[in-house]
Amino acid sequence: MEHVQVLIAGAGIAGISAAIWCRRLGLQAILIEQEPHIGGQLKTIKNTIWDFPPHLYANGLELLDELNQHQVLGELDIRLSERLISIDPVSHLVQTDKTLYQADYLIAATGVRANTLTVLEGASFVLAPWFSTTSQGELLAGRRVLVVGGGDRAVESAYNISPYAEHIWLAVRGDKLRARPEWVERLDTVPNVTVLYETEVTGYIEEDQLRTAVQLLESASEQCAGETALSDDQAAPSNDHAALSANAPSSHSGVSSLLPDPQATQTGVFLEIKGQQMPLFLPVDRVMPRIGIRGNSDVMEQLKQYGEGFIQSDEYQATSCGWIYAIGDLTNGSVYASLSLASGQAMKAVKHISLQLNK
Ligand SMILES: Cc1cc2nc3c(=O)[nH]c(=O)nc-3n(C[C@H](O)[C@H](O)[C@H](O)COP(=O)(O)OP(=O)(O)OC[C@H]3O[C@@H](n4cnc5c(N)ncnc54)[C@H](O)[C@@H]3O)c2cc1C
């Protein structure tokens, strides 16, 4: 077991800033990071960063490069590929996948992750959560895109890609958009977006699977022609969705209701739309889930939380457990997620800790 004054978990901008402030205030600190590199979300920022003064960075990697050259960085105790796995709020024991720490203070800076659509797991046409619609929209030129979600990020994404994509469908679970009115108004001005309310994505099919399904269909119908007629169940392809949509009802807001066309091999998703008896097939080239983010707080269930796994903290970043502090996106949620706030909170947390230690 190793004793440490301040253990910092997560080496995004928040955790790195905290480690630098510990150095400045003379606190002994260890910074652990689950990945083999520092930076957290910085690696995923493709847009220009102009709101983290005084520099203007072309993207997050440029900022990370500069950070890696920071003179003090080499003097910090940074332990890569080490993951926080449990915290004992009473004994101050912190377990990682490498060792056990006795920490006077813990600063949690583990950030957030994007919510994913489990029904699309394994689909290769789903865009990564960090796909940037401002700087990478051109990659969707001529594509049919399904954006999933009804909040700011979903509506903003649909709007940003509208100059490039052939058509965009926005699948919204509720009966209205939750995005800010200004974004909804902007979306109303673009001709190639169809909003599908009360709609859920229930499955997908990719070209290869489709070919298999079609082959099965063909061999089943050939058999059918030569023998006595098969029952519907026997004739159906192994994929339930394909079987279902064979009998699907007529079109809905531009959504094809037909079985994926076996001649024009298609990739697409199945949608359940309120009021429609059968799932509908929507041929799309790309799917962009924009269904929010959640705090990386799985091992912090003992701390007070709000929303989707965000840690509640007070004006000094202290959590409901006095010796544990939370900084950065983990405590800010999506609305206030920013580099400047994350780095500012690091200063406040470390200063507060140093004042407690020097009492
Ligand atoms: C596409 C995009 C564009 C953005 N553009 C801007 C912008 O222009 N300006 C701006 O101000 N902000 C921007 N942001 C927001 C900004 O990037 C974030 O607010 C900021 O990076 C959050 O930093 P963080 O340190 O709190 O979290 P993160 O960067 O998420 O870092 C958390 C770290 O904790 C690690 N971790 C997680 N769990 C564990 C564990 N159990 N054990 C150990 N380590 C763990 C993670 O691997 C990660 O490295 C953007 C974000 C995105 C996604």
Read off the pLDDT of residues 137-152 as tens digits, 9 standing for 90 and up: 999 999 999 999 999 8
Ligand 1: residue of 64, 80, 106, 110 to mutate (most ligand atoms within 8 A of CB) is 110
Q: Which of 176-180, 252-256, 324-328, 334-338: highest mean pLDDT?
A: 324-328
Name the nearest CA neighbour of 308 among 293, 324, 325, 289: 293
Query: Higher confidence at residue 213 or residue 232?
Result: 213
Protein residue closest via CA to atom 21 of ligand 1: 41
Q: Write the pLDDT tens digit of every residue in 190-204.
A: 999 999 999 999 999
Q: Indicate the average pLDDT of the chain.
A: 87
Cα 41 to ligand 1 centre (Å):
4
Q: Is 334 in the pocket of ligand 1 (CB under 6 A)?
A: no
Averaged pLDDT, 87-115: 97
H or E segment to which residue 85 belongs: strand 84-88
Span 118-289 CATH architecture: 3-Layer(bba) Sandwich (3.50)
SS3 for 34-53 is CCCCCCHHHHHCCCCECCCC
Q: Is 35 in the pocket of ligand 1 (CB under 6 A)?
A: yes
Measure the CA–CA gap between 283 and 263, rounded to whole angstroms. 13
Provide the β-strand partners of residue 272. Answer: 200
Q: Is 32 in the pocket of ligand 1 (CB under 6 A)?
A: yes
Query: Higher confidence at residue 181 or residue 234?
Result: 181
Q: Is 15 in the pocket of ligand 1 (CB under 6 A)?
A: yes
Q: Residue 295's Cα: distance from chain center in Å? A: 10
328: pLDDT confidence band, cut at 50, 70 and 90?
very high
Q: What percent of the chain has pLDDT over 90?
A: 74
- Which CATH class, in words, describes the domain spanning 2-114+292-357? alpha beta
Cα 261 to ligand 1 centre (Å):
42
Q: Is 109 in the pocket of ligand 1 (CB under 6 A)?
A: yes
**Sign of the torsion angle spanned by Cα atoms 190, 290, 149, 283:** positive
Whether 237 shows a pLDDT value over 90: the answer reads: no
Q: Is 40 in the pocket of ligand 1 (CB under 6 A)?
A: yes
The first and second tokens of residue 63, run together, are: 């900022």
Q: Write the pLDDT tens digit of every residue in 272-284.
A: 999 988 889 999 9
Q: Outline which parts of the chain fall under CATH 3.50.50.60.
A: 2-114+292-357, 118-289
Cα 329 to ligand 1 centre (Å):
7
Radius of gyration of the chain (CA): 25
